[in-house]
Amino acid sequence: MEELKRLKSVAALRGKPYTLRVVWQNGSRDLVDMTGVVHRVAAFAPLRDPAAFRKVRVIADGLGIGWEGNLDYSARSLRLLAEEQRTLSGADLVEFERKAGLTTRETAQIFDVAPRTVASYRRSPRLPRAIGSMLRSLRNDPAVLAAYYRPLSRARGRPRKHAGENVVA
């Protein structure tokens, strides 16, 4: 069962429109950009006014945030936004590959990139957003990994020449 994360405090950042500084009751902190929510969900249109957005507060004993006009957003949804917006690095990819037992070629196949691109991602301090989003999905749901995983040969080095094959130089 999923742990309910409750909010301790929330504040809108000045100078960063639609961004919240969130402190969870366990002491962890997140910056959450709510631009997409404010501009894509019709009910949140009144919050496009920066003064209205800044009036955010914790509600329901930390289970959500709210604004004037009975607008509210659950702590669970806020946590999902924070997790999705968190930057992932090559180290996160390496850890995932290790835990999942994937080879470079298998990882490349899953992400639909070349093996050398996977090697480059592993050294990156920041994965591209699309790759980070896919990595989150793969880590969070074994069914997503199962949907894309296809086992590949674990042989190393160059493929052996079979009898009767011509090698093009």
pLDDT tens for 122-143 read 999 999 999 999 999 999 999 9
Give the tokens for residue 93: 């990819």
Q: Share the mean pLDDT of the chain.
A: 91
Amino acid 127 reads L
Q: Is the pLDDT of residue 2 over 60?
A: no
Q: Is 39 helix (H, G, I), strand (E, B) or coil?
A: helix
Question: Which tens digits make up the pLDDT trace of 147-169?
Answer: 999 988 766 655 555 555 554 44
pLDDT at 168: 46
Model confidence pLDDT, tens digit, residues 52-62: 999 999 999 99
pLDDT (mean) for 97-124: 97
169: helix, strand or coil: coil
Q: What is the pLDDT of residues 5-21, one digit of tens each?
A: 899 999 999 999 999 99
User: How many residues comprise the chain?
Assistant: 169
Mean pLDDT, residues 106-129 taken together: 97
Report the distance separating Cα 138 and Cα 144, nearest Å. 5
What is the reported pLDDT for 152? Answer: 84
pLDDT at res. 64? 97
Q: Enter the pTM of the model.
A: 0.76
What is the secondary structure of 109-124 as a DSSP string?
HHHTS-HHHHHHHHT-
